[in-house]
Amino acid sequence: MQVQQIPLSNIRLDHRNPRIAHTLEQMEGPIGEDFIELSLGQASPEDDERSGSTTYQSLKASIRANGTLILPIIVSPQADGSFLVIEGNTRVAIYRELAADSSPGNWETIPAVVQALTEGAEHAVRLQAHLVGPRPWRPYAKAKYLHDLYVNQKLSVTEIHDFCGGSARRREIEEYIQAYKDMEEHYMPLVADAQPDYTRFSAFVELQKKPGLKQAIVKSGYTLTDFAKWLQAGKIVPLQFVRQLDRILAHPEARKEFLAHDTREAMKVLEQPSSNTIIANSSLEQLAKGLAAKIRGLSWPDAQALSANPQGATALSLIDCYEELAALVRQIGHNVDE
């Protein structure tokens, strides 16, 4: 693919850009390029949480220091002679900002790959760059785009998965679509006209990840709207404690502490100091090796008994252990095939 220098004045930002779609949809009437630029440059609490990702300001500093782009944008030629940005809206906004600031360098043209793309090819470019690529969208924006493809564009999960080049897990795509649906249905009506806290979306993702968690909430006499109210009231802290709700709600004293305070207080009830001094004094390495050996030595009848009673104490403890272990392994930097 040949890289061309396209005049910045001929570039049009894409108002369908998933990174800012949830901001732009609140606007009435035509959306100007200046508002899109401001939306792209807005700081978000999620930016601070996504360690390892590139924020707007750090990307701007890098482009200014290099005097150009390392990765060219991708644009599609339009009938009026302009070029619509398919991938690289933020970089165009930064170029315009650097030009307006009279920063040293040439910001009048921008490196771009020009491609006449079908709608399907546009989806593939966006998904490969931001769903599985090095410049991820914020989780809520990612889910909104996937939900739109699935519900409004009528694409199947298989088609979306294929657009990603097979790099994304099918289950992750399904989890994000359902998490977006749950958040829109149960959380968004609670905030009314207030600014939603999009960082709460990760709690809805956790809700999909643990098998049987939704059923456990309902079985305990609550609803997903109650779950959303707990989130809004700040009762689930930190958000990864979502995966502990089945244990909390099933334990009378822990549930009482949760409803009166939050998940941290409930977990204090569940995690009383162990009377087993061997376990208490063992290192993570020792415990991990011991658990692995125990599982490898599990007899067929014992495994069948676990399968026959998936809601039993042992099965639920294993699921809880797995979720915590999987989260830690992902943090270490290894992919977990779920």
pLDDT band, very low/low/confident/very high, at 264 (cuts 50, 70, 90)? very high
**d(C-alpha 9, C-alpha 18), whole Å:** 23
DSSP string, 36-78: HHHHHH---HHHHH-TTSPPHHHHHHHHHHHTS-SS-EEEEE-
- How does pLDDT run across 39-86, given as a tens digit for each residue? 665 544 444 344 444 577 888 888 999 898 988 999 999 999 999 998
Angle at 48 between CA 234 and CA 167, to 5 degrees: 100
pLDDT above 90: residue 220 = yes
pLDDT at 176: 94
pLDDT at 49: 40
Which helix (H) or strand (E) segment holds residue 268: the answer is helix 263-270
Q: Report which of residues 30 and 17 the model is more confident about.
A: 17
- How does pLDDT run across 151-192, given as a tens digit for each residue? 988 889 988 888 776 656 888 899 999 999 999 999 999 987
- Helix, strand, coil in percent for the chain, rounding step 5: 60, 5, 35
Q: Report which of residues 100 and 326 the model is more confident about.
A: 100
pLDDT above 60: residue 27 = no
pLDDT at 52: 41
Q: List the chain domain ranges.
A: 3-117, 131-196, 210-272, 283-332
What b/e readout covers 274-307, taking b as 16+ CB neighbours within 10 angstroms? eeeeeeeeeeeeeeeeeeeeeeeeeeeeeeeeee
Answer whether CATH 3.90.1530.30 is correct for domain 3-117: yes
pLDDT at 11: 93
pLDDT above 50: residue 242 = yes
How far is C-alpha 215 from the geometric centre of its chain's CA atoms? 23
Q: Report which of residues 104 and 276 the model is more confident about.
A: 104
- How does pLDDT run across 117-164, given as a tens digit for each residue? 888 888 778 777 766 555 667 888 889 889 989 998 888 998 888 877
Which one, of 240, 195, 247, 193, lies nearest residue 217 by Cα? 247
- How does pLDDT run across 245-256, given as a tens digit for each residue? 999 999 999 999
pLDDT band, very low/low/confident/very high, at 293 (cuts 50, 70, 90)? confident
